[in-house]
Amino acid sequence: MVNFIKHKNIFLVFTLLVVAACVASIAYYKFQPGIEFTGGSVVEIEYRDARPANTAIQEKIAGVGLKDVSVYAQGDKGLIIRTETIDATKHADLIKKLGETGALTERSFETIGPVVGKELTGKTVGLVIVSLIAMLIYIAVAFRNVPGPVSSWQYGLASFLILAHDVLVPLGVFAVLGALYGVQITIPIITALLTVVGYAINNVIVVYDRIRENLLRDHKADFAEISNRAINQTLSRQINTSVATLLPIFAIYFWAGASLKYFALALILGIVTGTYSSVFLASQLLLIWMNRKGQK
């Protein structure tokens, strides 16, 4: 039996360092919000031959007279241009100018108004917060009759902190990707993060439920021993479930195309982080909290 509880302080320090790095990256780099949240127009094209130099592309775009233009490379030949809301005339002018740099194919063109973008932003933030709070309340109610030194609200608050960690880590990675490669936070990515919340809380509940069973069988045993036993009893289930889930998601990431690539990446990051949390944080947080209160 592996003693996961023995090194709980090491896991906690490592987790705090990772969370601090993610928060710092979010604060420093910010996010690149997708068109769904900011409003504007996005044009995606792909050159038939090699993509021209950025300077040549920028010169042609400047000739159209657009404002707030951002240009991002997509693969070897693709290009994504994000700009202010443009009408059909300016869209045609833009494609014509870009066509002067080489033969190309327009992959997509979409426009969303700023009012819709602000509304979606508010609803998305509210949805994430409500989801986390709902999970906290659910855990607290579900474990209200668990015997032992830890109250149901401590189970709920520990779960809330774990979920916040599982969401912060992918967001920190996407903040860096947005600064380096122009990766945007879009509705599919938010959907993936909400899916991660559900996946992660399921892993945590499996561990906590096993702690409850062990407490009912042997309520006189040390809580640290019971917690470590619960982690080992659920370890194979956690690993097998995560691997089985990750296999098709990796297939989506590598072969489903650019539109689903970052959706899959968000799921991969969240599932890996959620599995780590259920093994190295779920029970350990309860013990650290209990020890700080001087409970035995």
Which tens digit of pLDDT belongs to each residue from 120-166? 667 777 877 887 788 778 887 888 777 777 777 888 888 888 988 99
Structure tokens at 72: 């991002």
Cα separation, 138 vs 175, whole angstroms:
30
Q: Can you list the positions of beta strands (E) in 157-237? A: none
What is the H or E stretch that residue 243 is in? Answer: helix 223-255
Mean model confidence pLDDT for the chain: 85
Architecture of domain 8-35+116-292: Up-down Bundle (1.20)
Using the structure block, give the residue that is written with the tokens 């906590």: 208
pLDDT of residue 84: 79
**3-class SS string, 66-131:** CCCCEEEEECCCEEEEEECCCCHHHHHHHHHHHHCCCCEEEEEEEEECHHHHHHHHHHHHHHHHHH
Q: Tell me the pTM.
A: 0.78
Inter-residue contact 108 to 43 (CB < 8 Å): yes
Burial code (b: 16+ CB inside 10 Å, e: under 16) for 106-132 equals eeebebbeeeebeebeeebeeeeeebb
Which is more confident, 185 or 258?
A: 185
**296: pLDDT confidence band, cut at 50, 70 and 90?**
very low
pLDDT tens profile 5-44:
888 888 889 999 999 999 999 999 988 887 777 778 888 8
Name the E strands within the chain. Answer: 40-47, 70-74, 78-83, 104-112
Distance CA 199, CA 135 (A): 12
Position 115 scores a pLDDT of: 62
Chain segment 69-97, per-residue pLDDT in tens: 878 777 778 888 888 788 888 888 989 88
Q: Are strands 40-47 and 104-112 parallel, antiparallel or unpaired?
A: antiparallel
* Helix, strand, coil percentages in the chain from 3-state DSSP, rounded to 5: 70, 10, 20
Same fold, 8-35+116-292 and 40-112: no
Residue (of 204, 110, 220, 211) closest to 165 by Cα position: 204
CA distance linking residue 212 with residue 228, whole number of Å: 13
List the chain domain ranges.
8-35+116-292, 40-112
Contact between residue 177 and residue 189 where contact means Cβ atoms under 8 Å apart: no
As assigned by CATH, the class of the 40-112 domain is: alpha beta
